[in-house]
């Protein structure tokens, strides 16, 4: 089977692209937080969450299709896409906690 005939390739690329966009937004949000721009950082995190949501939609469609009995040829690129998505979701979760922590610490310092 030609790689381009494998429909998982296009799904994998969508997941990787959306997850990559999320990673860029997470990096931007952390830089904004380091500049004490917490409102903008949280807005950028929301943008990253939307990118993750879009990637997750693509992944979920494949999973739901498999539960309905559709089979797919194995695709290393799809496995890589899922790994990428999970990694960036973890980065996003950690970044949200860090931004909250930075904001709490900044507020404590300003109020003393």
- Based on the residue annotation, tell me whether 53 is a catalytic residue of this protein: no
Question: If we measure between CA atoms, which residue out of 106, 89, 98 comes closest to residue 30?
Answer: 98
Identify the residue whose tokens are 């693509």: 58
Cβ of 35: how many Cβ atoms within 10 Å?
9
Does the annotation list 2 as a binding residue?
A: no
Identify the residue whose tokens are 């929301």: 46
**Taking the CA of residue 65 as centre, how many other CA atoms within 13 Å lie in the half-sphere pointing to its CB?**
12
CB-based contact 51:95 (threshold 8 Å)? no
Identify the residue whose tokens are 């507020």: 107
| Bind-site residues | 83
Active site residues: 80
| Bind-site residues for Mg(2+) | 83
């Amino acid at each position: 089977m030609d790689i381009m005939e494998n429909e998982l390739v296009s799904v994998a690329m969508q997941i990787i692209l959306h997850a990559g966009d999320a990673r860029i937004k997470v990096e931007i949000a952390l830089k904004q937080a380091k500049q004490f721009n917490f409102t903008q950082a949280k807005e950028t995190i929301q943008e990253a969450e939307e990118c993750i949501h879009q990637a997750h939609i693509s992944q979920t469609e494949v999973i739901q299709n498999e539960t309905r009995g559709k089979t797919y040829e194995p695709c290393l690129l799809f496995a890589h896409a899922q790994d990428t998505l999970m990694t960036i979701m973890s980065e996003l979760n950690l970044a949200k906690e860090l931004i909250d922590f930075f904001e709490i610490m900044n507020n404590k310092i300003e109020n003393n």
